[in-house]
Structure 1
């Protein structure tokens, strides 16, 4: 019962989105392009996924840096995703100013870094001791206690190396770098949303498109690999293939490059996606036009 109550309480709290590299207390703040919204806690990641935001995991697994399909925390968001989560009340911004992050990283050169190393070494030693005990118990059963040729209490070099290679390295669910004191540094949520949008006209247009697609029930992911701003899914990306490749939003006076339209439509057809060109009308609302490549003859 206590676990259920604590879980319900954790899920009811707003997710914390860290604006890494931001300096939000002076003037108009930083350029939105220099700020990276990330989440460090898996509980927060679970919360935003319940609300239709998947994000992209960018953390590296310690023992397998090339396994980029199964990366760990932190989770990076598109700025549109971060703004939407805060605007609808599912998350709050926290900020990590450049000097704060540098200060935290500098601490890794001293006692904190040594503690990380000691904790890792102790964990590896405990796992290895457990593996050795299980191996000797198994060998004693297989060889027999009276076997003189191969004593049951001896581990050869090959078996020792195999056990070391099978050591499990735990990937932490939260950041060990971000200081707890930084977690308490809150900011005016409405003010920072306005600052970010005011500094970037293209983001203002794209944010209107993003909100419209969210209202229509789509999940969005970055679409650069398919030649667009977003890739839109009809549901959770773990269950569905994407249907749309959505381009950057355009104002009513912005020209359309026909060559880019042809290339985009052909690319979209080859990957079984509809190429969507969004625009913002005179009333400030998002409109959508789709293009598909058709064969002739």
Structure 2
């Protein structure tokens, strides 16, 4: 289990009718690297607390499509862990004062080490710039203002994984996959499509900006352009809106992508794929 990535399902509540509100995310850089090796890129959505509106340099967490999370768990590359506010409340109820004191002492010791290092660097700088006596005590050189600036510049590490959230077993992770699929017919259809395309070597990303459910790449998205705009899966008996099909085909042709419509039937595991292109366009 240590070699598998941990995907957290956040949002929603404990009730069974809120499975569609869950969002799969990863917080650990090492876990993100693991799933990337299996062909899942995801989308970085983390921003800066001081500038939440900037969207150029995004970082962790990495958000996944639910299909990606289910595929990684089913393939044995990851485990799913659902985290809600109630989980943290139950964990807090069993938290002892000794454990809290231990955590606080660890944090204080780390901040103390950083402060001592900053004081030593400051003294070294003063000796170089101002020729301060090499035997001078820190209290004689470091003024109150300098001390405050150093304290405010101490780096406080944000843990990737909560010390309160319980770790799920692989059995619980498997049950989560079954529950999520059982409560969402549309997701079941789309997961069949996603799984079939992944098994054929395609890398998948969200396709909303190109008018689809996914965009499919023939290899790593950092090296290739996407070739397909894949729509939401639909049952074989469902009607097709011809106007939407024409619009999608025109859009797909204009951005050099094939518009793909997947069809799913209840008596067949593998979906069928139908492609539409706008002939003579452009």
Indicate the TM-score class for this superposition, using the shorter chain for normalisation. 0.7 to 0.9
CA separation in 1, counterparts of 2:194 and 2:222? 20
Deviations 1:98-142 (A, max 9, x none): 5214556899xx999999999878767765664564355345434
Report the TM-score when normalising by structure 2: 0.72
Asked whether the equivalents of residues 41 and 175 of structure 1 are also in contact (C-alpha less than 8 Å), the reply is no
Conserved? CA contact 2:26–2:60, under 8 Å = no
Residues 1:207 and 2:195 aligned together: no
Contact 1:93 1:187 in 2 (8 A): no
1:24-103 to 2 correspondence within 5 Å?
A: 29-68=16-55, 69-73=57-61, 75-103=62-90
Offset of residue 217 of structure 1: 0.8
Match of 2:8 in 1: 18
Note the alpha carbon deviations across 1:54-113, whole angstroms, 9 max, x for none: 22333444455345443213x332221222222222223333355214556899xx9999
> Deviation of residue 200 (structure 1)?
1.6
| Distance (Å, rounded) in 2 between the aligned partners of 1:246 and 1:46 | 26
Contact 2:206 2:213 in 1 (8 A): yes
Unaligned runs of 5+ in 1: 1-8, 147-152
Q: Which residue of 2 aligns with 1:245?
A: 229
Separation (CA, whole Å) in 1 of partners of 2:68 and 2:280: 37
Q: Is the 8 A contact 2:81 2:173 kept in 1?
A: no
Please, which of 205, 216, 220 is the counterpart of residue 200 of structure 2? 216
2:246 corresponds to 1:262: yes
Deviation at 1:218, TM superposition (A): 1.2
Question: Per-residue deviation at 1:204?
Answer: 1.4
Per-residue CA shift, 1:204-244, capped at 9, x if unaligned?
11111001100111121222232211122222333333332
Instruction: Establish whether residue 276 from structure 1 lines up as the match of residue 266 from structure 2.
Output: no
Distance in 1 between residues matched to 2:161 and 2:250, nearest whole Å: 42
TM superposition score normalised by structure 1? 0.69
Distance 1:245 1:117 in 2: 51
In the alignment, the residues of structure 1 paired with residue 72 and residue 20 of structure 2 have an alpha-carbon distance, to the nearest angstrom, of: 18
With over 3 angstroms needed to count, the CA separation of the structure-2 counterparts of 1:275 and 1:41, relative to structure 1, is: same
Aligned residue runs from structure 1 range 164-243, under 5 A: 170-176=157-163, 178=165, 182-184=166-168, 187-243=171-227
Contact 1:93–1:189 under 8 Å retained in 2: yes
